[in-house]
Structure 1
Amino acid sequence: MTGKVDTKEVWTRFIQEGSLEPANLIPEIEESWHLCRQKGLNPHDGITDCILTPEEFEERLAENELLITLAKQNVKRLQKILRGWRFVIILTDKDGYILYKEGENSISIAAETIRFKEGAKWGEIEVGTNAIGLAARYKKPMMVRGYEHFSKASQQWNCSAAPIFNQHKEMIGVLNVSSLYQSINQPYVLACVKLIADSISLDWKKKMHEDMEFLLRTTFQSSGQYIVCTIDKYICALPKNLQQKYQNWIGSSLSRFAQETGAVSAVHIPIMHHHRLIGYRIPLRAETGFVWNGSRGLSKSYKQVLESIKNVAPTDTTVHLVGETGVGKKFLASCIHENSPISTAPFYKLHCSMLTKDILQRFLSTNLQRLTKKRHQVVEEATIFLEEIGELSIPSQQMLLTILQEKERQHHKSYRFITSSTKDIRDLVEQGIIDQDLFYYIYAYPIYLSPLRERNEDIIALIDYYCDKNNWHPEWRINWKLLFSKGQWYGNVRELYNTLDRCRILYKEDAPTEEQLYEQVRIAEKHMQKSYHRKDPKTKFEIQAITNALKKHHGNVSEATKELNMSRATLYRKIKKYQIKNFL
């Protein structure tokens, strides 16, 4: 795993000059030294000041009771394997706090002198380069010997550590073996530590499966308005009235569910089995009526969209959704329906490019028959989503207008229309593509969805949602979030999810390189780069001038043409040529 550093010359030169040439260090240790130096860590100290109070330590022990129990059962095997060598065994939680220490008495006493003890935090920032900190950061077995440690306090020690994972491949702790004495075969010691860490991980997975089975076959899952989860906070049961709406959340993390729905209270009621904590019952908040089966973005514009949907969903008002292809108009339309008074009624999705007058008439006569034949009867309940309303033929528009006018006269609240478009339909009215009377009916409550490239802060939330929904949590996912957040995503959410689908298929076993991930991001962008990026200064200036004029006059083409001193036909041609869309 690493070459031996025989003297302290390399360490001394780095502390004094910041130079690592020449050095026989592995990249992880080099990177850790630079990190410690950057953080201003004192290399002549290295004794941690971050120690839990007795009360805090007891709380940590309770939270990690199962991990400690499983570790103790496996540590006995490790002690037999390494018999004859003096060492101390350390178990930390996922945050680096030491939960348990056991070993030869003289080694344990020496460890106490540098506060290498229960309750202490043993991370890189606290004590410098060390095996526990590296194993936790890189999620793989690591060993650090002698002067490979950044801080003097640890330079007498030789340490080997390996991470412990749960059933979701998330790190829950680190197992470490440390000694003041060098082993004849240090890589063998590291292999033994990894073997026992993997055994603890396997035991954890088995125990979680047993606990899940117990929770599912007991009455906990149906007792009132409670969510039931395992001790690692993954949902295994929902109240009956939420099972249909939130079925996809079974097996997902409780924290993500709370973030997306706002339905979870802070109260956790322990569930015990054989005197052991195996899960929790969490009461729902008093108001959990709003259904949202997607990711909740962090951007201001996304929160405004969400608030708009909350306001309009309980009404029967006609809604118009406008935004680029792939931003999620269909999803938002279904969300409006699911939170409406007629949420149990059918939700019809019709693409206007396929709707001839005959097809529309057949659909309306079948689903709105009671309205068209006898006005005094109540219409069948339904939400009708018309995609790309700008592609609806004029005869079909007239038929739709008649239905909306009848709905208004008869005050029917049992059905509603939602429309969508990728273009500003106010311009389509000016061009004669959309009937003006119909426009006033369908444009009652417009909601604009901004493209994903204008709200990069939502990308990580969308990635987390995708991973939870597909129960896919690769260890390398941290590496790609920053890279993906820099993508342009001209296909918006749809393109992002397509890229994630490809990654899930292509990289089942081996982690992709940064270049491979970048290539996946570029697949859908290559043919778009010319129109979006490779523009000369004059073109960029013209695009900006047109966009500013349209925004200034709220999309009014007539006023924009006056300011730009160009004809209406020329302006429409340039809007199409430059793909100018975001001027609402």
Structure 2
Amino acid sequence: MIAGQVTKEQWKRFVQEGALDTSRISRRIAASWYECRKNGVDPYNGKGILRLESGDLQKKREENKRLIEIAVPFMKKLAQMYAQSNMIILLIDRDGYVLKLMGQDKARALATHINFTEGVKWTEKEVGTNAIGTALSTGEAITVNGPEHFSLASQSWGCSASPIRDEKGDVLGILDISSPSAAGYHEHLLGTVVSAAYAIEHKWQQLIKEEEIALMHHALECLGKQETSFFVADRHGRIVYLSPQAKANLNASRGGSIDDLPFSAAKTPVYSSDGGQVIGSYAAVPVKEAKPCGTGWAGTFSFKGVIGTSSTFKEVLEKAEKVSRTNVTVHITGETGTGKEVMARSIHESHAGRNAPFIAINCGAVPANLLESELFGYAPGAFTGAKKEGAPGKIVQADGGTLFLDEIGEIPAAMQVALLRVLQEKEVTPVGGDKTRPVKFRLITASNRPLGEQVQNGTFREDLYYRIYVYAIHLPPLRRRREDIPALIHYYFHQNGWPFSWTEKSLQVLQRQKWEGNIRELFNVLEGLYVEFQEETPTARQIEAYVQQTSSGHEETPPVPSLSVREQMEKDYLEKALRQHGGKASLAAEQLGIPRSSFYRKLAKYQLS
């Protein structure tokens, strides 16, 4: 007799006396037998005992919905291959519960005699040595045939099982082929089961990649809200995207666990495109509170940014304070990086309060084919990939509060008509729907270029222009309020919890710069300086040398004339990341969560070196 074959006599001797000749039995079978004897498994029974009620089984199937969806087509192919054989194919979850069973009717009927059915728990502790339970226990594929089963009920069966692993290598479940004809059971079936399990794993890996793409898409949609602090995590709680503001507020990075975050996040589920599965979560990251630096502002209006001391900006605040007492439409102009959304949010909170919704979307950052559904929402089944329950859209979300449309000049002509109708009729119709919904909100818009010129050249509707250009506020560029730069520097250091010990001479270095990127560029430079010098205080000369290397006022490559606003924003993000990491593309790509190959293509596209 060759090693690995087990006879009924060997089984009886072990059960009665505990004696076993390990040279004549598989090492894994022997180890399992000893474990079963230790755990008090009944060798004379072995029928399934622990079985889920229908409701609990349905819950188990819901928890493993994705696995079932992937595995069932392969199970059907196996069932078809062995339709003339006396076999059943089973899918088991990581806890040992049978989720699905299919195959030949006669084999299914015989399986019921030992309670080998859907919903039963088929582990070593429950029914003794068996292919399913032993594969779960060892994490390895195995065949258990005839008397190799520890308990009598299964000894007429032959079974082969293989683990199915997820993207992290953890066991998702077990795939099994079993036959009540142990004498005619073929060892080659183990190879078939292993191959099918591998194919299921491959499909699972594809699914995870698709889910990560969907989560990144969700993050890009969230980026329509400028200066928003949030993260998006996958189903395992691994962070797949961390917004720039969230990075400034957290000691965390992409790939980290949300369990390690220093606060308890109120997470919102992110669903698959069909709406049937939770594929991850979204959560806002608390922004560090900071007291305004410089001179305060008396009155009912509370500006959430840095006030400073310049008379130029004080005049702006006077206008903002006046309009905050009303509900009129406001249009904010100013160069990129001057703080248009900060001003819009301040007006909103001073009038409506913090509890009313403030919904922001950057019309230039969202692709044109997504902007319509983002803004107006969509009805169920409006387009391929739409959520089955539909989506409300930003206008409906802003009901009772404020809708802030940044870069409104980027809205396509056809969408301008729809927006004009919403403002006139005070009701919105979702994409693909026919039912209107009344809405009431305050509209604040912003643009970094003159809308009047767009009206003249025909790219912006004149009637919409007059609808939104009711009360205008212009935010001056940083070079027109240089006296506020020290207050801005103090504010940024305080917001990030960095110690501040700069000299007056060091502050003057930054006051002399052009700051074509305004406050945003200033903050980028401050962040880069902190990365460069950490806790060490840089000298005025070191600050000047760093700024000369990085500032847009010195060595910045002129923008490509044909770039859209969205492309220019993307280029700005790339340049910022490169500056922060001293030109190291690999670190910049990691910070932005972009694959290196894509990052290098973008560098070439925007002529960045």
Structure-2-length-normalised TM-score: 0.45
Bigger radius of gyration: 2
